[in-house]
Structure 1
Amino acid sequence: MEVRVEIGGMRLDKALAELTDLSRSVANEQIKAGQVLVNGQVKKAKYSVQVGDVIQYQEPEVEALDYVAENLPIEIVYQDADVAVVNKPQGMVVHPSAGHTSGTLVNALLYHVKDLSGINGVMRPGIVHRIDKDTSGLLMVAKNDEAHVKLAEELKAKKSLRKYIAIVHGNLPNDRGLIEAPIGRSEKDRKKQAVIAKGKEAITRFQVLERFGDYSLVELSLETGRTHQIRVHMAYIGHPVAGDEVYGPRKTLKGDGQFLHAQTLGFTHPRTGELVEFTVEAPAIFQKTLEELRK
């Protein structure tokens, strides 16, 4: 396959990703393997493309994926012909990946929900946004492509309501605040996210609900949706989420992962235009831990 560059100045890997259906990581893999030619010559990823350059690349083979519907217990808070709202349990991965081909929310949705949008392909049918494996709470699910587009556009425009509650380490000095710090992949540990100058815009608002001395209960509102955003931002200001083994201290509250729960979700219904809002209680382990802290 080949494409012609119409706007110069971009790195080769970025240009290839923007001009084709390849992800930037796959584009990089092909470039490193010498499978990408520019005007018949092998170039490095950092090569700055010029107007008129002809880029030849390999069309990746489509892997046949067939994820099985599984009768896994999930709570469907709301459902109609266009959208479903589910309460994801703590410990469940949202969609299949290399290490998780079963037992995910998608496997459960394929069983419990009749129709799912196909915009994100076979691996993420219906999935408009995600929360981490060990974060519990509300997710919106699109049941057709038209609904998916509208829900995704609202998220991108920062108009959706997403409120979390978390138990965090320490006693925050302010009752409320705003954390505005860019997030990107950590330069020290590629498996982690971090606040870095070259990161993408990330904004989190917080309000302290209760104080327990060594811990605090906070409500957090997301204006952006970066990977691990709340966990990274709270660690950045010195108050990591309790139970977070990746961004927090080893000495922490015992539970089933981080004490972070997506409690409230609000959005404009894609068909009716009505503003809808849903709230669910935190898991039993979260509530039990709060009761113990109050004592």
Structure 2
Amino acid sequence: MREEKSVTAGPEAARLDKYLSEVFPEHSRSFFQNCIENGQVLVDGRPARAKEKPREGSIITFFAEEPRELEAKPEDIPLDIVYEDGDIAVINKPKGMVVHPAPGNETGTLVNALLFHMKDLSGINGVLRPGIVHRLDKDTTGLLVIAKNDAAHISLAEQIREKTARREYTALVFGGFREEEGRVDAPIARHKTDRKRMAVVPGGREAVTLFQVAARYEKYTLLHLRLTTGRTHQIRVHMAYIGHPVAGDAVYTKQKFPYPTQGQMLHAHRLTLTHPRTGERMTFEAPLPAYFREILSRLREI
């Protein structure tokens, strides 16, 4: 159901999101911030700007779709289960699979597959993200750990927060490097004008990516990378920021990659964690997917 309301700004209107939350207390300030970012708030017929203070007499209109309840249902989707016990499971996620249901991706997700294959999953993140402790982008392949109970979830989430869990990636990026290894320390936040993208933004959340050269090709470099923070799209944003975007990435670079990838060439190849019940330090590895190996083979021949 579509909701649309208008109000005329008074003589002392506060910042737009705050003002609307006061006029329409059934909605929160964060609700209106999201509406403004999505172009769902108009001031005198034009899209509102973030942090805007409306002038007296301005006509403010907002509209939003009433949220529709999503439901995660079990689906018989094959899974590459690298490891499983009563507390955790480690999955090698394929390219093209979304981690959990969301508008526009309500079926065919990793969660739908987990609900079919596994009896127990943690409930901390709600009915749409059972067992999900961390995520990979749709077109990023590789290792994810799944929590099968709440105690395991709490332990794994703390390990990620305290940086004792190690997540290591392989990426093919544009260009060559003089150095053998390096560090990107640049804060990340939502892009100011494109809400679907992230960007390096002063005052954003801390984000640190470590990288090491694994192989060099004529126009590309194969990197091993390690995250010490886990921001959305972190590796993709950081690599584009330093002028070496990930090959095949359709969001963070306009450079054309002459090989079929269906998305960025980024693979989570190693995951190290402490088992939440036994305390054992465990490392899991996933080989590069076949398409990734084939492209590297072709680059070696150039």
Give the TM-score normalised by the residue count of structure 1. Answer: 0.80
> What secondary structure does 1:287 align onto?
helix
Aligned partner (choices 18, 25, 30) of residue 30 of structure 2: 25
Report the Cα distance in structure 1 between the residues aligned to 2:238 and 2:33, rounded to whole angstroms: 30
Q: Deviations over 1:48-81 (max 9, x none)?
A: xxxxxxxxxxxxx996543211111110100011
Partner of residue 198, structure 1? 203
Q: How does 1:91-240 map to 2 (within 5 A)?
A: 91-240=96-245
For the residues of structure 2 that align with 1:152 and 1:191, how far apart are their CA atoms? 25
% identity of equivalent residues: 54
Query: Number of aligned pairs?
Result: 254
| CA distance 1:210–1:30, shift in 2 (3 Å) | closer
RMSD value, Cα = 2.4
1:46–1:116 Cα change, 3 Å: farther
CA-CA distance at 1:23 after TM superposition: 8.2
Which residue is 1:19 aligned to?
none
Structure 2 unaligned blocks of 5 or more: 1-15, 22-26, 42-50, 54-65
- Report the alpha carbon displacement of residue 270 of structure 1 after superposing the two structures with TM: 0.6
How much does 1:196 deviate?
A: 0.7
**Residue 257 of structure 2: which of 252, 256, 267 is its match?**
252
Matched, 1:276 2:276: no
Determine the structure 1 residue equivalent to 2:76: 71
SS in 2 for 1:187: coil
Residues of 2 paired with 1:263 and 1:250: CA distance? Answer: 25
CA distance in 1, matches of 2:30, 2:170: 34
> Partner of 1:288 in structure 2?
294
Aligned counterparts of 1:265 and 1:24: Cα–Cα separation in 2: 38
Distance 1:175 1:119, change over 3 A: same
Partner SS, residue 119 of structure 1: coil
Q: Which amino acid letter does the alignment assign opposite residue 259 of structure 1?
A: M
**Aligned amino acid, residue 125 of structure 1:** P
TM-superposed deviation, 1:155: 0.5
In the alignment, the residues of structure 1 paired with residue 240 and residue 284 of structure 2 have an alpha-carbon distance, to the nearest angstrom, of: 28
Indicate the SS of the match to 1:232: helix
Shift, 1:253, TM fit = 3.8
In structure 2, the CA distance between the partners of 1:242 and 1:119, relative to structure 1 (3 Å rule), is same
What's the offset of the Cα at 1:190? 2.2
Contact 1:205 1:221 in 2 (8 A): yes
* 2:269 alignment partner in structure 1: 263
Q: Which runs of 5+ in 1 are unaligned?
A: 1-10, 17-21, 34-44, 48-60
Which range moves more in the overlay, 252-261 or 92-101? 252-261
TM-score, normalised with respect to structure 2: 0.78
CA distance in 2, matches of 1:253, 1:115: 43
Which residue of the partner structure matches residue 57 of structure 1? none
Matched-pair contact (CA < 8 Å) for 2:140–2:266: yes
